[in-house]
Structure 1
Amino acid sequence: MGRNLLGKGIPTITLSAAQLIAATGMTAVTLPAGGLTSIEIGPKPLIVVLILGVVATGITFHLTYRIIAAEGATNAATVGYLLPVVSVALGAIVLDEGFSLRIAAGMVVVLVGVGLTRLRKPTPSTLAPEEIPAPPAAPRI
C-alpha cells in the first residue's frame, strides 16, 4: 500500500495533524476571553471529550485528506451533501420523524447531484485502441 500524499507530496496524516494542532492553539488563545474561573471536570466527561475530540475528529480529518488525495476535492466535497440525506433518513427511521413527498424529492435531487459528480469522461486509458482519437495534425508553416 502506497503512502497517501496530497499537494506537493505531503502525507495526509501530516496535514490533518497540523490542522488540528493549529486549531488547538487558536482555541487556547481564546480561553481567557471566557473568564478564568476554574471548573471541575470529572474523569468521565474528560474521557468523552478525548474520544470525540481527539480520536473521532482526528480520524475524520485524516480520512478527509485521504479522500481528497484519492478522489479529488470535488468528490470529497460531496460528502457534505450526503449528511442531510442520511440525517433525514435516520430521523424518519429511528426517531419516527415526519417524512413527506417533498422531503423525498429533495433527497432525490441531492443524490442525483452527487451521482452527476461521479460521472467521468472516458480517458484514453479506458478506451479500446480503435476508439482513441488521433492527435490533431501539426500546423504547416
Structure 2
Amino acid sequence: MKPQAYSRFMSRFFPTFLLGFFSAVFGLSIAVALWSDLQWRNPSDNAQYSTLLGAGLALLLSLGHFVMIRGRRWGLGVIWAVLGIGLLMGVSLLGSRMPAVLVGASLLLLLVSLLVLNSARHREMRAYLIALAIERRGS
C-alpha cells in the first residue's frame, strides 16, 4: 500500500474501528464486573471468576478484531459472538439489585458497538481489508 493510500485509509476508517472496539471493551468490562458480582456472592471467588471471564472475553474480542484486520471473514463472527454474550449478560442484569445506570451504560455501549459494526463505513473498511488480503496472498 502506498503511503498516500495508507494515510487516506487510516484517516477514513481508523476512528470507526476504534469506536467499535473501545465501546465493546468498555461495555464488556462493565457487564462482566456487574454480572460476576451478581452471580458469585462469595467475595473470595468473585475476583478470580471476574478476572478469568473478563480476560477470556477480551482475548476473544481482540483475536476477532486482529483476524478481521488481516482480512478473514470469520473474525467478525467471533466479534458478534462476544458482543452477544455481553448483551446477554447485560440483559440478565435488568431488574436486579445492580445500579440501573451502570447496566444501562453497559447495554448502550454494547449496542453502539453493534451499530458501528453494522454501519456502511465499517462494511466498506472490511471489504477493503479483504481485498487487500487477497492482493497480499496473490503476490
Task: Please indicate the TM-score interval, normalised by the length of the shorter structure.
Answer: 0.3 to 0.5
TM-score normalized with structure 2 length: 0.33
TM-score normalized with structure 1 length: 0.33
Does 1 or 2 have the higher relative contact order (CA < 8 Å, sep 6+)? 2
